[in-house]
Structure 1
Amino acid sequence: MKTHVLYGKSEVEVNVPDDSTVIEPQTIDAIDDYTSTIQNVLRNPTGSKPLKELVKSDDIVSIVISDITRPTPNHILVPLLIEELNHVPRENFVIINGTGTHRDQTRDELIQMLGEDIVDSVKIVHNHCNEKESLVKVGHSKYGCDAYLNKEYVESDFKIVTGFIEPHFFAGFSGGPKGIMPGIAGIETIQTFHNAKMIGDPRSTWGNLEDNPVQDMAREVNTMCKPDFMLNVALNKDKKITAAFGGDVFEAHKEGCAYVKEHAMFKCEDRFDVVIASNSGYPLDQNLYQTVKGMSAASKVVKENGNIIMVSECADGFPDHGKFAEIFKMADTPQGILDLIHDPNFSEVDQWQVQKQASIQTFANVYVYSELTDQQLKDSMLNPTSNIEQTIAELEKQYGCKLSIGVMPQGPLTIPYVEDEE
Structure 2
Amino acid sequence: MPASVAIPWGDGPPLDLSLPDGWPDPDVMEPALDGPIAEYRAALTAALDHPLGGLSPIEAMVTPGSTVAIVVDDPSRWTPVREALPVVLGRLKSRGVLDRDISISIGVGRHHAVDAEAMARRVGEEVAASYRCFSPPVDDLAQYEDRGTSADGIPVRVFRPVAQADLRILIGSVLPHLQAGFGGGYKLIFPGTSHRSTLGAIHRVGLGGDAGALLGSTADANPMRRAIRGAAGLLGPCVSISHVLGPPGQVFRVASGHPDAVQDELAAEVARRYRAPDAELADVVIAGNAPWPGDPMQSFKVLLNHRSACRSGGALVGLFWTDPGEIDRSFPMPAMRAIAATGAPGGVVMRRGLAMADRVAAASGSAASFMVRWARELVVDREVLVYAPPLRDRIGPRLGPIRLYSDLAELRQRLALLAGSAGESSPRVRIFPSGGLTYCPASSVAVRRGAGQEHRENRR
In the TM superposition, residue 46 of structure 1 has moved relative to its aligned partner by: 0.4
Contact 1:323 1:351 in 2 (8 A): no
* 2:358 aligned residue: 341
Mark the CA change 1:377 to 1:356 in structure 2 (over 3 Å): closer, same or farther. Answer: farther
Contact 2:174 2:243 in 1 (8 A): yes
Contact 1:90 1:121 in 2 (8 A): yes
The reply on whether 1:394 has 2:399 as its aligned counterpart is no
* 1:53 aligned residue: 60
Contact 1:341 1:347 in 2 (8 A): no
* 2:429 aligned residue: 405
* 1:39 aligned residue: 45
The reply on whether 1:6 has 2:18 as its aligned counterpart is no
Equivalent residue in structure 2 for 1:356, among 354, 371, 374:
374
In the TM superposition, residue 101 of structure 1 has moved relative to its aligned partner by: 1.2
Mark the CA change 1:405 to 1:156 in structure 2 (over 3 Å): closer, same or farther. Answer: same
In the TM superposition, residue 327 of structure 1 has moved relative to its aligned partner by: 8.4
In the TM superposition, residue 368 of structure 1 has moved relative to its aligned partner by: 1.0
Contact 2:166 2:237 in 1 (8 A): no
Partner letter of residue 358 of structure 1?
Answer: R
In 2: Cα distance, 1:141 partner to 1:325 partner = 39
In the TM superposition, residue 376 of structure 1 has moved relative to its aligned partner by: 5.3
In the TM superposition, residue 419 of structure 1 has moved relative to its aligned partner by: 6.5
The reply on whether 1:310 has 2:310 as its aligned counterpart is no
* 2:300 aligned residue: 292
Contact 1:245 1:253 in 2 (8 A): no
Contact 1:28 1:236 in 2 (8 A): no
In the TM superposition, residue 18 of structure 1 has moved relative to its aligned partner by: 6.3
Contact 1:166 1:234 in 2 (8 A): yes
List gaps (5 residues or longer) in structure 2. Answer: 450-460
Equivalent residue in structure 2 for 1:319, among 315, 326, 331:
331
Contact 2:292 2:299 in 1 (8 A): no
* 1:112 aligned residue: 121
Mark the CA change 1:122 to 1:355 in structure 2 (over 3 Å): closer, same or farther. Answer: same
* 1:384 aligned residue: 404
In 1: Cα distance, 2:173 partner to 2:320 partner = 21
In 2: Cα distance, 1:114 partner to 1:63 partner = 11
In the TM superposition, residue 66 of structure 1 has moved relative to its aligned partner by: 0.6
The reply on whether 1:273 has 2:297 as its aligned counterpart is no
Equivalent residue in structure 2 for 1:263, among 254, 273, 296:
273
* 1:138 aligned residue: 147
SS at structure 2 position matched to 1:200: coil
In the TM superposition, residue 27 of structure 1 has moved relative to its aligned partner by: 2.1
Write the deviation string for residues 178-236 of structure 1: whole angstroms up to 9, x where unpaired.
Answer: 111111111111111122x6323344323342221111111111111144211001111
* 2:454 aligned residue: none
Contact 1:267 1:419 in 2 (8 A): no
Which piece of structure 1 moves more, 121-130 or 394-403?
394-403
Which piece of structure 1 moves more, 383-392 or 360-369?
383-392
Partner letter of residue 15 of structure 2?
Answer: V
In 2: Cα distance, 1:391 partner to 1:226 partner = 55
TM-score by length of 2: 0.84
Contact 2:241 2:256 in 1 (8 A): yes
Mark the CA change 1:173 to 1:52 in structure 2 (over 3 Å): closer, same or farther. Answer: same
Which piece of structure 1 moves more, 197-206 or 118-127?
197-206
Mark the CA change 1:107 to 1:327 in structure 2 (over 3 Å): closer, same or farther. Answer: same
In 1: Cα distance, 2:276 partner to 2:98 partner = 46
Partner letter of residue 5 of structure 1?
Answer: I
In 1: Cα distance, 2:18 partner to 2:248 partner = 22
Contact 1:334 1:358 in 2 (8 A): yes
Mark the CA change 1:391 to 1:295 in structure 2 (over 3 Å): closer, same or farther. Answer: same
Mark the CA change 1:382 to 1:222 in structure 2 (over 3 Å): closer, same or farther. Answer: same
List gaps (5 residues or longer) in structure 1. Answer: none
- The structure carrying a bigger helix percent of its residues is 2
In 2: Cα distance, 1:291 partner to 1:154 partner = 32
* 2:255 aligned residue: 245
In 2: Cα distance, 1:403 partner to 1:209 partner = 36
Contact 1:20 1:404 in 2 (8 A): yes
Structure 2 counterparts to residues 160-179 of structure 1, below 5 A: 160-179=169-188
In 1: Cα distance, 2:237 partner to 2:402 partner = 40
Write the deviation string for residues 268-323 of structure 1: whole angstroms up to 9, x where unpaired.
Answer: 4201111110222333x322x22231111220101111001111134314632797
Structure 2 counterparts to residues 207-246 of structure 1, below 5 A: 207-246=217-256
Which piece of structure 1 moves more, 162-171 or 374-383?
374-383
Structure with max Cα Rg: 2
In 1: Cα distance, 2:386 partner to 2:237 partner = 39
Mark the CA change 1:57 to 1:325 in structure 2 (over 3 Å): closer, same or farther. Answer: farther
Partner letter of residue 122 of structure 1?
Answer: Y
In 1: Cα distance, 2:180 partner to 2:221 partner = 10
Contact 1:52 1:84 in 2 (8 A): yes
Percentage of identical aligned residues: 21
RMSD over aligned Cα atoms: 2.5
The reply on whether 1:369 has 2:387 as its aligned counterpart is yes
SS at structure 1 position matched to 2:8: strand
In the TM superposition, residue 326 of structure 1 has moved relative to its aligned partner by: 6.8
Mark the CA change 1:201 to 1:76 in structure 2 (over 3 Å): closer, same or farther. Answer: farther
- Count of aligned pairs: 419
SS at structure 1 position matched to 2:318: strand
Write the deviation string for residues 96-139 of structure 1: whole angstroms up to 9, x where unpaired.
Answer: 11111111112332222222111111210111121111101112
Mark the CA change 1:208 to 1:306 in structure 2 (over 3 Å): closer, same or farther. Answer: farther
In the TM superposition, residue 28 of structure 1 has moved relative to its aligned partner by: 2.3
In 1: Cα distance, 2:83 partner to 2:24 partner = 40
